[in-house]
Structure 1
Amino acid sequence: MEEEYVKLIFGLKLKQIRTERNLSLFGLSKLAKLSKSYLNEIEKGKKYPKTDKIIILSEKLDIPYDDLVSLKLDKNLAPIGEILQSKILKEIPLELFGIKESNLIDIIANAPDKVNAFITTIIEVAKHYNFNRESFYLSSLRSYQQSNYNYFDDLEQKVVKFCKAYQIDLKSPVSSKELEEVLVEEYGYTINNNDLKKHKELYDLRSVFVPKTKTLLLASDIDEAQRTFIYAKEIGYNYLDFEQRLYTFPWIKFENFDQVLNNFYASYFAGALLLPRAALVNEFSKLIKKDTFDKVAFIKIFSFFAASPETFYQRLTNLLPQDFNIQTLFFLRFTHDVGSKNYYLTKELHLPNQQSPHSNETNEHYCRRWVSLKVLEDIDKSKEDHAFDIQISQYPDDDVSYLVFSSATKDPFKKNQYRSISIGLLINKQLKKKMAFLEDPKIDTQIVGNTCERCSIMDCKERVVAPKILEKIKKNQVIEEVVSDLTNKFS
């Protein structure tokens, strides 16, 4: 166990023993003739006493020396020992949420038995459901995005500052050529367009960065939007001065949470550079003032900025809450194999918190009425480059409706695979005031659920499987009612 954790355990044990003896910190100080501040430092895990001091504490508290220095904990502190030995607190980016590790341990140490039991349960659930470090890091990142409504003004300002310093016009589309010049001239990059394609094992990668020689290896089949985004992200890493970073796109592994967080920051920087805030807000404002939805104008926005649909939809999650006060929304990315009937939700973000539709980890079948899946079916049949649709999705079980925009394209990272990107906006009085075209009769409206297994729409022609989970819940409700009637009858 790490030295700092040994200090923490000794401090927790000393505090527990002192409390059991009904001694205040001041009382122990008088008894052991050790300063109160020194004992306080020990109990907080900041100091580990020397042998002679431990002997004094052992004698005055009437506890064997070996028991005092042992790392073995009693049942009340055992969950803390499990947490420390699992090193899970090293994995959690506590500082991101303004929490100090020592404070958290102190809270746990002072918690009643039932709270410790709850913590133990969480650890067991994480083990059984393979909730690994990657899952935890990405969940932490999503929570961080949600708590900030996915808008980071310091990054927005740094993009503006960068463009001013390097004379990049934010009113015009940024080209890969001018970003490549910055990478080569300012940051000493060498761009290699040939060697990555020689390794078939690396087909799924769009880029690899070699820090020692500042060589950026690029896949030969990337389009202009992908190349521009990769360059913008590399500039983000350099301009934001991040040492902890990921070296492949998409990433294949990470060493710590800082790499995950900095990857997000660099991606945010790239999105803000390619889709400048002022210009995008201006174009989107024009779109939503129209009485009918203009599909051509919507697609033209991200086409003008030479951005991929994913970059565009992600960028909307930054700006809609901030500049349009549309704060309840979701972002989804699905993948779909050509010719198959399977759909996988590979990325999601919910602001301000989770809502339908959302991922399901028990292999249930997502609602086939979702426009996110419909556009994947459309592009699979048509084989076009881009399929787009808009839909109003009504969730009767939750009594909410969303306006959903969705685009499907070929997956740039996988052969024979498509992906759809969607953004859904909660329909409320505010959205109705903001978006004039909400009453457009041409916008399709669908009653939807989350998964077929839990869906209450009984006449659904798109249903893939029976609502077996919902049926089980209803069956149990009937049983409960009959038992309740019998109880009342014979009471």
Structure 2
Amino acid sequence: MMIEDEYIRLIFGLKLKQIRTEKNLSLFGLAKLTGLSKSYLNEIEKGKKYPKTDKILILSEKLETPYDHLVSLKLDKNLAPIGEILQSKILKEIPLDLFGIKENNLIDIVANAPAKVNAFISTIIKIAKNYNLTRESFFLASLRSYQEAHSNYFDDIEKDAERFAELYQLDLSKKITSTDLEEILIEEYAYTVNDNELSKHDNLGELRNIFIPKNKTLLIDKNISEAQKTFIYAKELAYNFLNINDRLFTFPWIKFENFDQVLNNFIASYFAGALIIPRKSLTEALTNFFALEEWKPLKLHQIINHYNCSQETFYQRLTNILPKYFNIKNLFFLRFTHKIKSPTYRLSKELHITQQQAPHANRNNEHYCRRWIAIKTIQDLENSSKTRATFGIQISSYVNQKNEYLVLSSATTDPFKKDINRSVSIGMLLSPHLKKKLRFFEENTFTKKLVGVTCETCAVKNCKERASEPFRLERQEKYKEIANTVEQIISSYS
């Protein structure tokens, strides 16, 4: 919440500016009328100064406005939403500093154009309500924007991970194990690891760990994989090594208090990825892989298996390394989840580097294109009698667009959610640079699919995979035809 004095100053300034404007007075005119300096009045309207009683009396008399109305914190209806915003925690919760914005700058904007800002805020609130945007989704969108603004590469965290490995004599050329990291947690940071407690609670089946800060106890699910355990330990080491105290205490999280906890969770996760999949070895492995004259998926699997990581951790790590070291910046990362026999596929995580490539999470409950390899790998997994991951690669060519993407995807069952499967995918824009970088790339090597975004907006004809008719597209075409007919009629009478 804003400091009370600051809030009182700003409200008084907003009211004074509104009254002055309604009376068609400039700042110069109000200065002449009241005998107060123009610069002093400007400071008041911007919420930087609060006038003394005698000055308020002068303003009240000359503006013919009751004294009580001027000093009241109650705003007129058209400014009330701004008052609510200023009194709420939103200005403190929005991570303005990540984008180089100071709170005082925002207050100046509000003070300079209150009516327009009020209309803008009201619009944002209505959009948020219509699309059921939550505080969590707002924070995650802010975090994604922060990642995208830095091409999802953070050199300081990379160096911290390497410095940690050097201090604790971890050989980054070899596979990092959970045993390596657990020893450091216990010996260096006095952790106690308990893998029995969580299994006693049936309703905690989706949690992989809980950290109890009071006695540094880490409760961990005994059924998690070696890769998951290693990642959890690496995150805990990040919190300690980087001296991060404002943190989340469960994985996955069940609640958070502020944006800093969300950001710090990302920092710890990035550190874990950089430690488990070191940039030097991954860069060397990818350089050799890209130099292959033929597409050999087994070689890619061998690279992944070299590291003690999940498919998702590896794909996300690619979004750090490819833009920085291979200048492959037009890419996206997607994670889909699907409940068996459900008609709905949910896009639960996304990241877009450089360009806002399709697809994006859809808030209108529309059906994502079933031709995407991200969805096909899930379908292949569910149709297979085998339990291991399924993989796929294709060129996705978007209908009525010039862009094509080379998309790699893999799907696995969710070990913590019954009857839930998920896929992770990374898509790279098929630019001349990418084709040159991937020596093995040939157009006829990979299956090419004409795809849409959602079935409801897709123009692909005779699509056998379609899950819904393109009613939104048809409606747009109908309105376009009507507009063209009206224009022709108007032209014929001109």
TM-based fold match above 0.5: yes
- 1:98, CA displacement in angstroms? 1.4
Change (3 A) 1:27 1:488: closer
2:27 is equivalent to residue 23 of structure 1: yes
Name the residue aligned to 1:408.
411
Match for 2:72: what amino acid?
Answer: S
In the alignment, which of 469, 477, 480 is matched to residue 480 of structure 2?
477
Which residue pairs with 1:455 in the alignment?
458
Residue in structure 1 matching 2:296, options 287, 294, 297: 294
Secondary structure at 2:396 match in 1: strand
Q: Distance in 1 between matches of 2:168 and 2:51?
A: 56
- Whether the aligned pair in 2 keeps the contact of 1:369 and 1:446 (CA below 8 Å) is yes
Separation (CA, whole Å) in 2 of partners of 1:87 and 1:56 = 34
- Mapped to 2, the partners of 1:287 and 1:25 lie a distance apart of 73
Change (3 A) 1:70 1:28: farther
Partner of 2:402: 399
Equivalent-residue separation in structure 2 for 1:257 and 1:25 (angstroms):
44
1:443 aligns with 2:446: yes
Cα distance in structure 1, aligned partners of 2:252 and 2:153: 23
Q: CA deviation at 1:374?
A: 0.8
Aligned counterparts, 1:38-49, within 5 A: 42-49=44-51
The Cα of 1:105 is off from its aligned counterpart by 2.4
- Taking the TM superposition and a 5 Å limit, the aligned residue runs for 1:92-491 are 92-111=94-113, 113-114=115-116, 116-382=118-384, 383-439=386-442, 441-491=444-494
- Structure 2 counterpart SS, 1:438: coil
**What is the RMSD computed on CA atoms of the aligned residues?**
2.4
CA, structure 1 residues 420+300, in 2 after alignment: closer, same or farther (shift >3 Å)? Answer: same
Tell me the CA shift for residue 208 of structure 1: 0.4
Contact 1:44-1:102 within 8 A present in 2 as well: no
Distance 1:28-1:408 versus aligned 2 partners, 3 A rule:
farther
Preserved contact between residue 187 and residue 238 of structure 1 (Cα < 8 Å):
yes
Q: How far apart in 2 are the matches of 1:333 and 1:148?
A: 21
Question: Following the alignment from structure 1 to structure 2, what is the Cα–Cα distance between the partners of residues 112 and 250?
Answer: 40
In 1, Cα distance between equivalents of 2:99 and 2:393: 36
What is the letter of the counterpart of residue 429 of structure 1?
P
**Percent identical across equivalent pairs?**
58
> Distance between the aligned counterparts of 1:90 and 1:123, measured in 2?
17
Structure 1 residue ranges without an equivalent (≥5):
none
Partners of 1:480 and 1:437 lie apart in 2 by 49
Provide the C-alpha distance between the structure 1 equivalents of 2:57 and 2:325, rounded to a whole number of angstroms: 64
TM superposition shift of 1:116: 3.9
TM-score by length of 1: 0.93
Q: 2:412, 2:52 → 1: CA distance?
A: 66
TM-score by length of structure 2 reads 0.93
Higher mean alpha-carbon deviation, 14-23 vs 372-381, is at: 14-23
For the 8 Å contact 2:335–2:422, the answer to whether it is kept is: yes
CA contact (8 A) 1:18 1:28 kept: no
Q: CA deviation at 1:483?
A: 2.1
Could you tell me which runs of 5 or more consecutive residues in structure 2 were left unpaired when the two chains were aligned. Answer: none
Residue identity opposite 2:409 in structure 1:
S
What secondary structure is seen at the aligned counterpart in 2 of 1:333?
strand
CA distance in 2, matches of 1:18, 1:26: 7
User: Any idea what the Cα deviations from partners look like across 1:83-112, whole Å, max 9, x if unmatched?
Assistant: 324543233111211112221122133238
Paired amino acid for 2:370: R
After TM superposition, give the deviation of residue 444 of structure 1 in Å. 1.2
Measure how far apart 1:182 and its partner are: 1.1
Q: Secondary structure at the match of 1:420?
A: strand
- Letter of the structure 2 residue corresponding to residue 165 of structure 1: L
Shift of 1:342: 2.7
